[in-house]
Amino acid sequence: MSKPLSGKIAVVTGGSRGIGRGIAEKLAADGALVAVHYGKGKASADEVVAKIKSNGGDAFAVGADLAKKGAAQALFAGVDQELKQRTGDTKFDILVNNAGIAPFVGFDETTEDVLDEIFSVNVKSLFLITQEGSKRLKNGGRIVSTSSLASRLPLGAVAAYSMLKAPLDNLAKTLAVHLGPREITVNVVAPGVIETDMAAEFVNNAEGRAFAESKQALKRVGQPSDVADVVAFLAGPESRWVTGQVIEVAGGTGLTFA
């Protein structure tokens, strides 16, 4: 039976761990060839690729440090080379901007270096990767970025991170209009607390989990697959009329005042 993403090619940044790993595995299970991007975690990315292949899918790993200048060129040098070998072309269908960092520092403790690093990885590289990626995306393609619920409901413990997720929501709107004539959709998912290394402060202790659950309509901690399933919808054919949107994937966090 044909799968929803059969014949499609996806690039997933931060596919080596956490939510990105879940997204890479889901898109591959839905039939896409997936470029699994990593920063420091080559071994983890190789493991994701091996798992996808053992489940009958196809993927390859590509490294690029998004904190460094020239990250977008470095990423696409690797992607282009592999795709040229496999397809004779550098075109692909789905870009998932997922990589990110969230140093646990409040407003008073945020240094210039920390601010620069969050900006470089979470905003600047995402912008430039999207710019490079959009040149290679086929008409009818998809861009999905991982923002955060913290954009709407900022957390004081990660004040700079919260502030620097809002640009993703904003960029999706101008890009949706810019790329609409090519039938490329641009959307954002905004997860709440999801059980990954990034959310260790919340999910690795009973008090943190209880706090997260107390804010949600649905009373459990979110999993990478909860986000990946929504990304797969936004990356697939059935979301064709959805663009420029921020979709919260947060179990209904902060829906009411009290």
Ligand X SMILES: NC(=O)c1ccc[n+]([C@@H]2O[C@H](COP(=O)([O-])OP(=O)(O)OC[C@H]3O[C@@H](n4cnc5c(N)ncnc54)[C@H](OP(=O)(O)O)[C@@H]3O)[C@@H](O)[C@H]2O)c1
The set of catalytic residues is 161
Does position 40 interact with ligand X (CB under 6 A)? The reply is yes
- Among 193, 234, 235, 247, indicate the residue that binds ligand X (CB under 6 A): 193
Asked if residue 146 binds ligand X (CB under 6 A), the reply is: yes
**Interaction between residue 17 and ligand X (CB under 6 A):** yes
Q: 3-state class of 143 per DSSP?
A: strand
Taking CB under 6 A as the rule, does residue 124 contact ligand X?
no
Q: Is the dihedral of CA 27, 74, 130, 198 positive or negative?
A: positive
Tokens in use for 229? 């399933």
Which span sits near ligand X by CB under 6 A: 17-25, 103-111, 134-142, 169-177? 17-25
Q: For residue 26, state whether it binds ligand X (rule: CB under 6 A).
A: no
Question: Of 67 and 157, which CB lies nearer to ligand X in the complex structure?
Answer: 67
Residue 148 as a binder of ligand X (CB under 6 A): the answer is yes
- What single-letter amino acid sits at 4? P
Shortest Å distance, C-beta 133 to ligand X? 15
Alpha-carbon distance 37 to 22, whole Å? 13
- Tell me if 172 contacts ligand X by CB under 6 A: no
14 versus 236: smaller Cβ distance to ligand X: 14
Q: If you search the block for the tokens 């641009």, which residue do you land on?
A: 186
What residues contact 94, with CB distance under 8 A and at least 6 apart?
Answer: 5, 8, 9, 10, 11, 27, 32, 141, 142, 143, 144, 235
Distance CA 103, CA 198 (A): 9
Q: Residue 189, SS3?
A: strand
Q: Does 39 bind ligand X (CB under 6 A)?
A: yes
* Interaction between residue 99 and ligand X (CB under 6 A): yes
For 80, half-sphere exposure in the C-beta direction (CA atoms, 13 angstrom radius) is: 11
Residues that bind ligand X (CB under 6 A): 14, 16-20, 38-41, 65-67, 98-102, 121, 146, 148, 191, 193-194, 196-199
